[in-house]
Structure 1
């Protein structure tokens, strides 16, 4: 950028800010947290810094750089969502078989179950936990993750089996929520 006739980046950004929005819209990207917009601005900055006037117009170079950076970010996030979905499905596969929960013989040791979870699995469960009441989370934690029986949970929590079943019914209802499923990457 030795050319003294070049405009400052602030001026370039003001003139081309809509270009970033255009590519976000064109690629049909949802950007509630302005991640893609920030990535587009970074791409514009890199394009501004690396621009060589002998190779073409600045606008074309901006379009190329911004679009490709946004596509890269979308692919990266898609891979992350896919990995989280696989982890969630794996958990679900091991925890539930149809309507019956698979339990190891005499297994009520939850610590051993959660120790084997990787970070993405723990992150999914943390998101789920935020959506549930304490009792609903107890049902998920003990019944699904810990593979405990309803009777064991009721005894441990000093309540009735009917209360534990009610926790489970309400938890399942919340877990079917489409907004939650979208956040977990389980629903398109």
Structure 2
């Protein structure tokens, strides 16, 4: 190691080397994170360089390039893990089902994600619905009645009952409403 050169001198002579490696590997570095990684690699290479092992420039290039590759691999792994976790969470929440319309596709909440035997969840749900909407939930979901049967029982039309169901489904598909239902927070 050349003890006469300070790291500041080494940095001034080799900072372009870091930029060159970043450019050569086509890395987008708007926040200078990869440059910082290269700078740390340059520091480590400066500290561990042994002149009898080869030229300093070759060693610096090797260390900087490999450190940048390691950083890219870590970020790629992190992005993959994050993407898989988000996909799994979405799939668990929606059961993979989507409703497609002119506005785009919207995830449909899986009905079985609501705990059917927990009365506290039903009470929270009831507090968020109108009487007609709750009637639809109670008759259609809990008692497994058809829209026609509900309409006869409530002395209304089948279309009105279907509308109550659409309103309930809209509330259940809203992510904020589902959080309220699943965690028991009654503020919507």
- Please say whether Structure 1 and Structure 2 have the same fold, judged by a TM-score greater than 0.5: yes
Equivalent residue in structure 1 for 2:110, among 62, 81, 102: 102
Q: Which has the larger radius of gyration?
A: 2
In 1, are the aligned partners of 2:45 and 2:59 still within 8 Å (CA)?
yes
SS in 1 for 2:111: coil
1:141 aligns with 2:176: yes
Runs of 4+ in 1 over 3 A off after TM superposition: 105-109, 145-148
Alignment of 1:5-154 (within 5 A): 6-96=4-94, 97-99=97-99, 100-104=108-112, 106-107=114-115, 139-143=174-178
TM-score (norm 2): 0.56
- CA offsets 1:42-63 (integer angstroms, 9 cap, x no match): 1001110111111111110000
Mapped partners of 1:54, 1:106: distance in 2: 69
Give CA deviations for 1:56-78 in whole Å, capped at 9, x if unaligned.
Answer: 11110000000000000110011
Give, in whole Å, the separation in 2 of the partners of 1:89 and 1:106. Answer: 20
Number of residue pairs matched by the alignment: 120
TM-score normalised by the chain length of structure 1: 0.56
Separation in structure 2 between the aligned mates of residue 43 and residue 19 of structure 1, nearest angstrom: 11
Q: Secondary structure of the equivalent of 1:101?
A: coil
1:92/1:27 Cα in 2 relative to 1: closer, same or farther (>3 Å)? Answer: same
Change beyond 3 A, Cα 1:18–1:105:
closer
1:36 and 1:105 mapped to 2: Cα distance? 43
**Larger RCO (CA under 8 A, 6+ residues apart):** 1
- On the 8 A contact 1:103/1:147 being kept in 2, the answer is no
The Cα RMSD (Å) is: 2.5
Q: Distance in 2 between matches of 1:50 and 1:25?
A: 25
